[in-house]
Structure 1
Amino acid sequence: MAIDVDKDAKIGCAYYVAMDEELVLEEEVSMGGIEAVDTLLLHVQPTSIIIPNRSPGELIDFLERDAHRFDDSEGSGGEQGSYILQHVVSVQFDYEAGKEALARLDLEPSKPDPVEILSLEEEHARSVGPSIHGKLMRIAEKINLESCLSVGCAGAVLQDLERRRNAEDLPDGEEGSIPFRVRSIKMNTSADTMLVSADSLISLQILQSELHPNPHTRSSNSSEPKAKEALSIMGLLQALASSAQGKKRLRQMLLRPSTDIDLIRERHRSIAVLLRTENSETVKNMRKQLRKLKNTKTLLLHVRKGVDRIRGQLSIRVGDWKALLRFSMVSAQLRQAINALKGVSDIAIFSRICNEIDVKRYLHLGDIIIRTIDFQLSKENGRTEILVGASEYLDGLRQEFASVRDMLPDLKESVVQEVPREAAKHIRHCTVMPQLGFLTAVTLDPETGEGVYHGQHHPQDEWRMCFVSEYVAYYKNRLMLDLDSQYGDLPSRIADEEVEVIMALAAALLEHEEAILHASELFGELDSLLALALAAEKYNWTAPIMTVSNVIDVVDGRHPLQELLTPSYIPNSCHLAGGCGTDGLDEDARATSGNRKGAAPSMLILTGPNNSGKSVYMKQVALIVYLSHTGSYVPATRATIGVTDRILTRIATRETVIRDESAFMVDLKQAAFSMNFATRRSLLLIDEFGKGTTAESGSALFAAYLAYLLDLGVDRPKVLAGTHFHEIFENGLLRTGTDVAFGHLDVRLDAQAEDPEDQITFLFHLLPGRGPSSLGVLCAAINDIPSDVIKRAEVIVALEDSNESLVEACSDLSEQDREQLSQAELVARNFLALQVPNKAGEQGQGASIRDLLQSVLSVKQIGTSSL
C-alpha cells in the first residue's frame, strides 16, 4: 500500500491485493488529513506501507504508531506491528512515472479493446508513442488519471512489486512462490458510497478489535493476526456468513455503505425473498452447501503454480482437488436451489446466478476430477493418487512395476545362489528405488563401513556400493544392472507420468478459471445476503423504507448490540429532517413529512442524567441509518430512511501518546472535520462536546457549534447532540424554533429511599423537553464515591440552585477551624498587651523575654471567643 499527502492535506492511495493479483487505486480525498488515512488503514488492512520521504511529520508519526519495529529498542516490547513502513525517495511517487508504469502493465482484457494500438501499416519504430498513448486510453476506462496523487502511488506500488519479483527469483532461475503480477486494475470512487470515518466506525462499534484469546496466536512469533473482531456490527454479521467469499463480500458491503437507492432496495428485496416462509427449507440447504466452499482463489492459485515432485509427493494436495470437486458439485446444487426459490424472477442476484452459472460446465469439471483423482487411496496413503483408468500409459507402467515388485523375492534367491554359502545369510533383500533402480541390500559391517559381503570370492561379478542406511548397505551387481537395462527407472517414469496427468487436469481446470472465479464472486454475494437475512430473522429486524427525502423516521428503534446484552431493551423513536436544499422539498419529502404532525426538526438535543441512555440512543439512530445503507434490515418496528451521504461523529476521544495533543484538541479536530465535511444529507452525532475545558469555554463552544449548524439553513444537516451544559438553554445562548427539538431519557426519583441506588430508576424512555438535571451527585453516590464528598457536593449544588455565592459558601469554616482561629486570636491579643521591661532601667528586675513569650503561648482560653 502506498500513501501520499500533499500540502493541502489531499490524500492519494493505491494498494496491491496479492490474492486477487489486482492493483486498486483510491480516488483522491480533498482535505482528508490523518482522519482519511486512518479510514483507509481500516479498510485495506495492509501488511506493508510505502510513503515518500517528503511526507509530513504528522503522517509519519501516525503511521509509525502501529508499524513493525525491526530493532529491539526500548518501547517496542518485542511485539510485531500491523505493517512494515517503508520510506522511499519522492521520485518514485512521480505522476508521469506512475502513468508510464501503468501503461506497461500487461492486463487481462475483460472485453475487446476498443483502442487500436498499432495498425498493420505502422512501422515499429514510429509506433512507440501511439502504443503508450493507446494503452493509457485503455487504462483511463478503468481509473481516473486526473487523480495525480493516486496515480503516483500506483507507480510506487508497481516499483515495489518489481523489486519483490526480483527478490523472489531463485538461484537456479526457477520462479518464486509468489509472482506478484498484476492481472487487473480498478479504482474505488466516493460516488454512490457513504462516507463513514474511522472515528465513526470505532465510536459506533461497527469495527471493534480485541486481543486474541489464544496467547500463541497473538504472540510476536506468530504469523496469525494478533487481534480478533470483538462485539461489533462487523463481528455480529460476519459470524452468520457461511463461506470465506461471503465474509469478504460482507466486509466490503459494511465498510462501503451505498447511497445508490436502487441497489439498496434490490438488496432489501433479495432479503425479503430469502425470508419467505415457503423458501425456508431451500435457504437452509443453501447455507449448508455454502459452508462446504473453501477460498476458490487460493485453490486456483495452487493450481496455477504448477506441479512437481516434493518429497516424493505431488505438490497439489489432495485436499485442494477435493475442495475443487466440492465447488463444482455445490455450484450445480446452488443453481438448482435458486430455481426452487419462490418470487425470484425479478431479483438481480438470483437472475445472474441462473443465467451465468452453467451447470453442465461445473458437472464436467467435477467429472474430470473424479475420473483422475483416487480420493479413497489418497486418503489411505496420505498423498495424491491417480485413479486407475485416468491414463492408459500410467496404468501400464503400474502393472509393469507391480510385476517387478512381485519378482523381488525371486531376485533375492537368485543373488543368494550366486554368492558363497557363508555370505548368503547377509543378503537382506532386493528392492527398486527411483533414480537408483534395482539394488541388493546387505548387512552393514560397522567396522569397515561396507557390507559384510560385497563381492568377495566372486571375481566374475563386480559389487558397487551405492549408499548406506542404518545397518544396511545397498549394492549394484551384474544382475541388478541387467534388470535396470531391461525395465529402466520405473518409479521415476511413473512419477513423471503422474505429473503429466495432474498438469493435464490443471490445464483443463484453468481453461474455466474465469468462470470459476466469477461463480465464486456470485456465491459470495449470495452468502452475504443470506447472512443479512439470517440476522433479520434471528434478531427481529425489519425492512426500512428508503427514500430520496432528507429524513430519518424511526419507530421503536433499538441498538443492535446493546439489546443483546440486556434482558429487556426499551425501544425509542426518532424523527429528523435535514435541509431541503436550494430546490426545496420534492414530492417524496412532502409525503413523508405529512406522516407526522408538524415539521420535523433537523436537530435533537438530549439532556438528562448520566447513564440514562443518551449515548446509546444517538448510536442506535446512527446504526439504523448505517445498516439501511448497507442493504440490511434494521432493528426497528418501522423505519423510513432518507439517503444519507455521511455519518460523522464527535463521540469517543481516541487519545494516544504518539499524538502530542490533549483530549480537548482531539475533540476540536473531530468537530472541525464534521463541520468541514457535513452536507445537508449528513448525520452528525455530537456527544458532550466541550467537556475537556472549563465549563464557560466548553458551553460557549458547544452553543456556537450548534448555532453554526443551524445557521446553514436549507443546507443544515441532521444532528443528534447530547450535553450537560444546561446554562446554554437557561441563558438563551441557543435560539429555539421548529428546527430544534429537545429530549431526555425518563427517570424516576425517590428522595426518601435510604440506598442511593433506590433513589433513581432509569426508564430509558425518550420524552420530549429538557431534562431537569444531570443528577451528577446522585450518580456519584451510586458509584461508591465517599459519603463526605457526596454531602459536600449536595450543599454546593443547593447553593447554586438558590443563586447563593459559592465564594462565601466555600469560605465558611468548620467548628474545628473556628476553635483554632479563636485560640490564635487570644494569643495575639495577649501578645499585644504584654509589658516588655525597659532594658536600661529595669535590668535584672523582671523575667526574661523568652519567659514572657512562653507565658503568652501558655495562656488557656476561658469560654468561647467570638470572631
Structure 2
Amino acid sequence: MENSKRSLTSSDHDGDENAITQKRVRWNNGSDASRAASVEASSSDSGVGLKVFAAVTGCNGRVGGIYFNPENATLYLMEDTTDGSHFDLMRMFLEQTRVDICLVSSRADEHLIVFCQEFMELSGGQCQVRPHKEFVPHKGRAKLQQLSLLARLPGAEPDHPDDVLASGARHNVNDFLDSRRNVENDPNAQRLYAAIRLLNFGADEAPLCLSSAAALLEQLLRVHATEELDETQNHLGALHISNIEILSLNQVMQINADALSSLQIFDNENHASVHSDKTKEGHSLFQLLNHTSTHLGRSLLRRWCLRPSLSISTITARHAAIECLALAENTNTASDVRTHLGGLCQVPRAIELLKTGKKNGLSEWRSIAKFAYHVNLLKDTVRELRNREDIGAIDQFLTALDEVNTEDTGVLVNMVIDWEESQNNQRICVNPGIDEVLDEKKRIYNGLDDLLIRVARQVSQNMPEGYTSELNVLYFPQLGYLIRIPTPSGWITKKDLEQIPEWNFQLILFNDREIEIMEETLNRVLKHDNAITAVCEAAAEVDCLLSLSFASWLHGWVKPEMTEENVLEIRGGIHPLQSLLVPTFVPNDAHIVGGRGIGVENDADDAKSVMVCTGANACGKSVYLKQNALIPFMAQIGCFVPAQSARLGIVDKKTFPVFTRLQTKEGISKLQSAFMIDLAQVSLALRNCTSRSLVILDEFGKGSLSTDGAGLFAGVVNQLLKRGSNCPKLFASTHFHELFTRGLIPPELPISYAYMKVLLNSNVVQEEQRQAEITYLYKVTPGLCLDSYATQCARMYGINKSIVERARFVSAILSRNEIGVLLDEDMPQEQTEELEVRAAICQRFISWKMSVGDDMGVKDRLREVLGK
C-alpha cells in the first residue's frame, strides 16, 4: 500500500492531471458560485468599511505626519515640511488621504490643533488630541523597527516542523499552532536590519514624522488588541503592515476637495434602498472611468484620481498601455484578461485571515485555489496581447506571474481539500489518500454507526438492572450516539476524559489531524506570500489600465500629446459627463499658455495666459470652463481625453496646479457665507499658484454688490497678470459687464476674450412663441458679449410677461445711466386710481373711534370703512 499515501511534492501531480482538474474548485457551478460571490462581496465591503488613521504634529512652521491605508496595509510617511500659517499643505494631506480619525499631539502648534479639529468636524471624521508623551521621535523609530516588515531577516523562513503530512505519529495541535508563532531569530540581527532599512526613508531627518509614527502605531496596536483574542499576538510585530512608502506630495497633482466636488470627479450619494445607510458613487468622473474587476484595482484608480501624476514618463507610459489595450485586435484578449483578474486580488486578504487564525473557512482556501487557476490562464492570455512590447506595466505583470509557483498554491490546495465534503460539513475536510493515519481514523469513525448498533443490541441484552438508571444512550442519524454516564466530580475537561481506558473521541482525533495538515499546507503557501502580493499589486495596475482603456474606447476619447511646454491646447473638447446627458454636445477649442503676464513678450502665436468668457445666462460657460479643467486632469491620471486632439503641458511639481472657484458648497454646517467661501478658495489659489498652475474662476464675486464683486474680480485678474512670467493659466467667466464698459480691465492687458454664441429671433409675434426668441448655440467665439439676455431667459422659464417687460425697461435706463427717469416716471391712470381708493380706506380706518356703547356692530362698521 505504498501508493495509498500521496506526497505533496510537484512530481506526483503530473501523473493524474485529469483527477486533479476534477477536484478543482467549482466556482462556476450552482450554489458554490453564489456563495463564493457573496463571500467576495463581503470581503470587499469590509475593506471599504475599515477606518483610515492618521497622526500629525507640527511646530515652528513645520509639519509632519503619517497615515495607514487599510486597503493595501501600507504606511505612508509625510516627511517634515514647511507649511504656512493657513496650513495649505496639511489641508491637502487630510483631503487626499480621506482620513477618518486624526491624532494630533497636545504640544503641537495651537493653530494646527484648531485647524485639524475644524477640518475633521466638517469632513465627518474625528480629531483626537493625544498626550504629547505618545509623540516622541525615538519611540517612533523603535516602534517602526519592531514591525515584522522591517525586522524580518533576509531570506529567513520560519523553522517549520517536519513534514506533518508524511508523519504517521499523533501531534498536539496546540503545540503545532504555537510553532509558527514562536519563531526565534537573532534579536540583535533583527534590530540591525530594521535600522538599516529604516534609513531608506530618511527617518533621522524627520523627527515630526517619527513622532507621528509613534502615536499612530500605538493607536493601531490598541485597535488590534480589541480585535485579537490571542494575547500573544498583541505586539507590533503582529500588525499586518505590508509596505512603507514616502508620501511625496510634490510628485502628484494636489487638487483640493472643493475642486474634486466642483468638477464632479467624485460624487457620493445615498443608497437607493431605504433600509441601507451606505453611500454609492453617483454621476461622477470616477464612476465613468471605473470598470475595474477587482477591489484593489478600484482602490488604486481612486488614488490615481485623488493624486494625478506629475511625471511625464509615468503619464506617457500609461497612455501607451491604454493605446495597446484599446487596439481592435486586442479587444477579445483584453476582455479575457479582465475576467481572469477578478480571481486574483481576494487572495491577500484570505491569506492574512488564515495566517492570523481569524478565519479558517472554505472561502479563504477557495480564493487561493482560484488565484492559482487564474494565474495559469493569465500567463498565456496576457502573452497573446499584440504590440505589448515596451509596455512596462504588462511586462511587470508577466514577470510577477512567472514567479508564482502554482504547484505549491492552487494544485496543492486542490489536492489536499475535499471540496464537496467540506461544503457538506461546513468545515475543511482533507481528501482521502493524503495521510494514512487520517484515513484510518476516518474509516473507524465512518464505521461506528453499524458497529455501535450491533454493540448496543448486545449490551442491552446483558446490561444489569442496577445500571440502567444511570446509563442513557440515544442515537440520532444526523448526530450519532449521545451517551450519558456518571463521572467523578473532579473530571470536567477533555484531558480527564482521556484517562478512561480505551475511550477515544474519533471525531476530535481526526479533526485535530486535519488541522495539522491544513497548517502544513498553509506553511507551504506562505513561502510564496511575497510573490502572491507582487502579482496582486501588478494586477491592480493592469486592472486600472484596462478600465481606462475600456472607458476611452467606449466614449471615443483620444490620446493626448504630452509636452514639457507650459501649454494647454485643445481642439474639439467636450465635457465627459455633460455630453452623456444631452442628445447633442457642441465641441469647443481652448488655447492658453502659462507665464505670459504683463511685460512678457509673446512668441509667434497669440495665445495668452488668461481667457475671460462672457455670454448669456445658461449658455454653457460653466460647462466650458469645467471641461478645460477636466481634460488635463484626465490626461495626468493616464487616461485618454474627450477631444479631437489635445496638446498639454505637465504642471510644475512644486505647485498646487488646479484651483477652482466653480461653485460654492453651502450648508448649515459651514459657518461662512457663500461670499466668504468664495474668498477662501480664491485666497488659496493666489497663495500657491505658479506659472504652471491652472486656475478656474466661474463668476467670482457674484455673492456681493455688483460694484464690489466687479472690483474683486478685476483685482484678482490684474494681480495674476502682474506676476509676469509667473502668471498661471486662468479661465474665468463673468457677468460684470462694467469691467469692460468702465475700464476696470483695460483693453491693453494680455487677455483673450471669448463668448458663447446665441441666436436671437426678432420676428416672434405670438405670445406662445416668445419663449423661443433665444436659441443657445453653445459655441465659443472670440470677442466680448455685453448682454446677458436675462429677460429672454426669464420668459423662457415662465416669468410673467409684465415683470419681464418692466425689467427690460429698467435695464435699458440703467445702462444709459439715466436713473432719474425712473424717479420722474408717472404711474399709469389705473394704478393711480387704485392707490387713491386704498388711501381712502386707510384714512377711514384710522379715524374710526371704537366705543363700548356703539350700537352699530363691528362687521357693519368694517363694511363702512371698506366702502362696501
* TM-score (structure 1 length as normaliser): 0.78
**1:371 counterpart SS class:** helix
8 Å contact from structure 1 (residues 177, 305) kept in 2: no
Q: Give the equivalent residue in structure 1 for 2:504.
A: 488
**1:141 counterpart SS class:** helix
Matched, 1:623 2:630: yes
Q: Give the equivalent residue in structure 2 for 1:57.
A: 114
Match of 1:266 among 296, 313, 317: 317
For 2:738 and 2:487, locate their aligned partners in 1 and report how far apart those are by CA, in whole Å. 100
**2:405 counterpart SS class:** helix
For 1:730 and 1:650, locate their aligned partners in 2 and report how far apart those are by CA, in whole Å. 24
8 Å contact from structure 1 (residues 329, 363) kept in 2: no
For 1:356 and 1:371, locate their aligned partners in 2 and report how far apart those are by CA, in whole Å. 24
Q: Give the equivalent residue in structure 2 for 1:296.
A: 347
8 Å contact from structure 1 (residues 51, 88) kept in 2: yes
Q: Give the equivalent residue in structure 2 for 1:92.
A: 134
Matched, 1:643 2:663: no
Q: Give the equivalent residue in structure 1 for 2:165.
A: none
Aligned 1:821-860 pairs, distance under 5 A: none
Cα separation, partners in 2 of 1:528 and 1:133, compared to 1, 3 Å: same
Q: Give the equivalent residue in structure 2 for 1:227.
A: 279
**2:447 counterpart SS class:** helix
8 Å contact from structure 1 (residues 36, 198) kept in 2: no
Cα separation, partners in 2 of 1:329 and 1:720, compared to 1, 3 Å: same
Q: Give the equivalent residue in structure 1 for 2:47.
A: none
Q: Percent identity?
A: 28
> How far is 1:33 from its partner?
4.0
Cα separation, partners in 2 of 1:183 and 1:253, compared to 1, 3 Å: closer
Give 1:794's aligned amino acid.
Answer: R
**1:744 counterpart SS class:** strand
> How far is 1:422 from its partner?
13
For 2:314 and 2:537, locate their aligned partners in 1 and report how far apart those are by CA, in whole Å. 17
Give 2:569's aligned amino acid.
Answer: D
Match of 2:261 among 190, 196, 202: 202
Match of 1:802 among 816, 819, 839: 816
Aligned 1:742-761 pairs, distance under 5 A: 742-753=753-764, 754=767, 755-761=769-775
**1:357 counterpart SS class:** helix
Give 1:628's aligned amino acid.
Answer: A
Matched, 1:317 2:370: no
Match of 1:781 among 783, 795, 798: 795
Cα separation, partners in 2 of 1:818 and 1:545, compared to 1, 3 Å: same
Cα separation, partners in 2 of 1:656 and 1:90, compared to 1, 3 Å: farther
**1:108 counterpart SS class:** helix
Cα separation, partners in 2 of 1:725 and 1:148, compared to 1, 3 Å: farther
For 1:215 and 1:533, locate their aligned partners in 2 and report how far apart those are by CA, in whole Å. 35
Cα separation, partners in 2 of 1:56 and 1:302, compared to 1, 3 Å: closer
Matched, 1:23 2:37: no
Q: Name the stretch that deviates more: 494-503 or 647-656.
A: 647-656
Give 2:686's aligned amino acid.
Answer: M
Q: Give the equivalent residue in structure 1 for 2:335.
A: 284
Q: Give the equivalent residue in structure 2 for 1:464.
A: 486
> How far is 1:38 from its partner?
5.2
> How far is 1:274 from its partner?
0.7
Match of 1:12 among 64, 71, 80: 64
8 Å contact from structure 2 (residues 151, 191) kept in 1: no
Aligned 1:539-554 pairs, distance under 5 A: 539-554=555-570
For 2:839 and 2:568, locate their aligned partners in 1 and report how far apart those are by CA, in whole Å. 70
Match of 1:683 among 671, 688, 694: 694
Match of 1:710 among 721, 725, 734: 721
> How far is 1:694 from its partner?
0.8
8 Å contact from structure 2 (residues 560, 641) kept in 1: yes
> How far is 1:334 from its partner?
1.3
Q: Could you report, residue by residue, the CA deviation over 1:500-519 in whole angstroms, capped at 9, with x for unpaired residues? A: 01101111111110100010
Match of 1:44 among 59, 76, 97: 97
Q: Give the equivalent residue in structure 2 for 1:222.
A: none
Match of 1:400 among 432, 440, 444: 444
The alignment of Structure 1 onto Structure 2 pairs a total of residues equal to 740
Cα separation, partners in 2 of 1:730 and 1:176, compared to 1, 3 Å: same
Cα separation, partners in 2 of 1:724 and 1:265, compared to 1, 3 Å: same
For 2:644 and 2:348, locate their aligned partners in 1 and report how far apart those are by CA, in whole Å. 41
Q: Name the stretch that deviates more: 104-113 or 19-28.
A: 104-113
Give 2:631's aligned amino acid.
Answer: I
8 Å contact from structure 1 (residues 557, 636) kept in 2: yes
Cα separation, partners in 2 of 1:420 and 1:92, compared to 1, 3 Å: closer
Give 1:31's aligned amino acid.
Answer: G
Give 2:116's aligned amino acid.
Answer: L
Q: Give the equivalent residue in structure 2 for 1:237.
A: 289
- The RMSD of aligned alpha carbons is 3.8
Q: Give the equivalent residue in structure 2 for 1:524.
A: 540
Matched, 1:770 2:784: yes
Structure having greater relative contact order (Cα 8 Å, sep ≥ 6): 2
Q: Give the equivalent residue in structure 1 for 2:39.
A: none
For 2:836 and 2:544, locate their aligned partners in 1 and report how far apart those are by CA, in whole Å. 80
**1:553 counterpart SS class:** strand
Give 1:22's aligned amino acid.
Answer: T
Q: Name the stretch that deviates more: 791-800 or 694-703.
A: 791-800
> How far is 1:177 from its partner?
14
Matched, 1:610 2:669: no
For 1:732 and 1:93, locate their aligned partners in 2 and report how far apart those are by CA, in whole Å. 57
Aligned 1:236-635 pairs, distance under 5 A: 236-238=288-290, 240-306=291-357, 315-358=359-402, 361-419=405-463, 429=474, 440=483, 464=486, 485-486=501-502, 488-579=504-595, 598-635=605-642
> How far is 1:346 from its partner?
1.2
8 Å contact from structure 2 (residues 153, 193) kept in 1: no
Give 2:337's aligned amino acid.
Answer: M
8 Å contact from structure 1 (residues 438, 484) kept in 2: no
Q: Give the equivalent residue in structure 2 for 1:476.
A: none
Give 1:509's aligned amino acid.
Answer: V
8 Å contact from structure 1 (residues 21, 183) kept in 2: yes
> How far is 1:779 from its partner?
1.7
Cα separation, partners in 2 of 1:32 and 1:744, compared to 1, 3 Å: farther
Q: Name the stretch that deviates more: 176-185 or 760-769.
A: 176-185
For 2:578 and 2:488, locate their aligned partners in 1 and report how far apart those are by CA, in whole Å. 74
> How far is 1:26 from its partner?
2.5
Q: Give the equivalent residue in structure 2 for 1:474.
A: none
8 Å contact from structure 2 (residues 408, 524) kept in 1: no
Aligned 1:111-150 pairs, distance under 5 A: 138-143=197-202, 145-150=204-209
Q: Give the equivalent residue in structure 2 for 1:123.
A: none
For 1:277 and 1:466, locate their aligned partners in 2 and report how far apart those are by CA, in whole Å. 80
Q: Name the stretch that deviates more: 24-33 or 319-328.
A: 24-33
8 Å contact from structure 1 (residues 688, 724) kept in 2: yes
For 1:820 and 1:656, locate their aligned partners in 2 and report how far apart those are by CA, in whole Å. 43
Q: Could you report, residue by residue, the CA deviation over 1:189-248 in whole angstroms, capped at 9, with x for unpaired residues? A: 123211211111111111111112223320xxxxxxx3221111112212x111112112
Q: Which structure's residues are more often helix, by fraction?
A: 2
**2:702 counterpart SS class:** coil
> How far is 1:716 from its partner?
1.0
Q: Name the stretch that deviates more: 332-341 or 166-175.
A: 166-175
8 Å contact from structure 1 (residues 8, 31) kept in 2: no
> How far is 1:775 from its partner?
1.2
For 2:748 and 2:306, locate their aligned partners in 1 and report how far apart those are by CA, in whole Å. 37
Q: Could you report, residue by residue, the CA deviation over 1:138-165 in whole angstroms, capped at 9, with x for unpaired residues? A: 4231256544443332222122234334
> How far is 1:415 from its partner?
2.1
Q: Could you report, residue by residue, the CA deviation over 1:20-43 in whole angstroms, capped at 9, with x for unpaired residues? A: 443222244723846655544443
Q: Name the stretch that deviates more: 166-175 or 46-55.
A: 166-175
> How far is 1:87 from its partner?
2.4
> Tell me, which stretches of 5 or more residues in structure 1 are unaligned?
68-82, 114-127, 219-225, 308-314, 442-462, 468-480, 827-857, 859-867
8 Å contact from structure 1 (residues 606, 722) kept in 2: yes
8 Å contact from structure 2 (residues 372, 411) kept in 1: no
